[in-house]
Structure 1
């Protein structure tokens, strides 16, 4: 519990058998986490056995994809604050406290992995991934006039329950670009948002996405397409709203 409010941590898992147990234990050791929800997304054999050795609760999400797993976990979590993270060894559990420190002032707290001082030796954050994430983040920042953004791919974040209830019904992405969709929705619905630096370490095992620059590049293009489509959609919606106002004579809502 954090200042009288309950805290849930949601961990989507696919290929994190070698790291998930330790991360769960580290998260619970912070002393502020009331619930850990593990979303088994067709995970590697033996993952459930590792989770069973902890106090975490496991749920099964058969639809393959990071977005589907994350959305299931967000729906299952019961906390007033919900932290989303990947249990692959790249994140440091104590950064949950860092996210919570901003929770009273912001509806959503996004992490960024691009702070040089917090990128650990061996972390998969070379020139291509770091500046590619930065460039796409800046595109989002400019198009949506958002808070300062330096990373669109960081999967460690916190959202309050009221904020989640405002945007959850609008989730559509089931794949790896769910993270940017969540960011876009938080901006579009006027949520108070900030992005803060978090630690980023070497992954335990190989990532199916960032382990290949080719796959990461393709994901980046998909993120850009999502951002541009989202911006176009919101512009069209605003123009339609203005036309309705002119026809009816009502003030815009």
Structure 2
């Protein structure tokens, strides 16, 4: 109800503003049909925002059970880092070495997705503990394989960290993830914090705000979880939570990231978001990058996931 109320507001509000402009400056108020249309748009806008307020601050309060603070001691937890890669020969070695140098990390696993260059060989030379080729094409397929390989042999209280091996993220941020996962099941990174973001990244004047709008729509749907980024591929999950979630992970494409945490939220898992360092990637982007048309297509797939949730 909250999501659809928000959708009606997002559609009707700009149309109402346009109609008000035509009324004031184009003398359209003389037409009876225009007045009916204008009043209808105003009614939709006001009713949708009132419905949104009612659902979130009244119905949600009385009908959605609250959860108590949660803490799990992870002092002895093992940490496996899983790096996904596709044609990342020039950077996967440096990425693997950076993550492996973090003293909290027990193992670094690289999963490459049928790379056409020497990504596999570069990962092996880097000293990664395991290098695996996922033959099924797609970022999501690579992530699912990485999570499965990372969780192999671990206890439920251990941790798997998923990240891309393109040097956009920092191995030092693992310390942040470990600190916060003591209180939840899944920790998501966010690239929207300006103080932690390099100047020349794909989070530009359009991708960044559009990304945040979709994130807020998901937040409205799953009220109580703060979200600002739907496309960050850096995250940590407790192995026990992953094993409960694994059978629900199906998306093989670039919209896997929101698919994963939407499914976790549907299961009422504890999910939080933390700011992480975001740098310009090494080499050419194989995901959305700065391609606005491709970004729009991925955004549409993300919205389909949301409205189906």
For Structure 1 versus Structure 2, the TM-score category normalised by the shorter chain is 0.7 to 0.9
**Residue 211 of structure 1 pairs with residue 284 of structure 2:** no
Q: Say if 2:303 is the partner of 1:224.
A: yes
Deviation at 1:145, TM superposition (A): 1.3
Answer whether contact 2:87 2:117 (CA < 8 A) is retained. no
CA displacement, residues 89-133 of structure 1 (integer Å, 9 cap, x when unaligned): 111110111111111111100000001111112222111111111
Residue deviations 1:175-219 (CA, integer Å, cap 9, x gap): 111111111111111111100110111011111322311111111
What is aligned with 2:248? 170
Q: What's the TM-score once normalised by structure 2's chain length?
A: 0.72
2:149 corresponds in structure 1 to: 76
- The question of 1:21 aligning with 2:100 is answered no
The normalised TM-score by structure 1 is 0.88
Calculate the aligned-residue CA RMSD, in Å. Answer: 1.2
4+ residue runs of structure 1 moved beyond 4 angstroms?
none
CA–CA separation in structure 2 for the residues paired with 1:6 and 1:223:
32
Is the CA contact (8 Å cut-off) linking 1:16 and 1:44 kept in structure 2? no
Tell me, in whole angstroms, the C-alpha distance in 1 between the residues paired with 2:279 and 2:146. 24
Which of 1 and 2 has higher RCO (CA within 8 Å, sep 6+)? 1
Q: Which stretch of the first structure deviates more once superposed, 64-73 or 12-21?
A: 12-21
Structural mapping, 1:1-253, within 5 Å: 3-56=75-128, 57-77=130-150, 78=152, 79=154, 80-208=158-286, 209-230=288-309
Question: What is the alpha-carbon distance in structure 2 between the residues aligned to residue 54 and residue 6 of structure 1?
Answer: 21
Q: Which protein shows a greater Rg?
A: 2
Give 1:28 shift. Answer: 1.0
Q: Is the 8 A contact 1:17 1:44 kept in 2?
A: no
CA distance in 2 between counterparts of 1:117 and 1:172 reads: 34
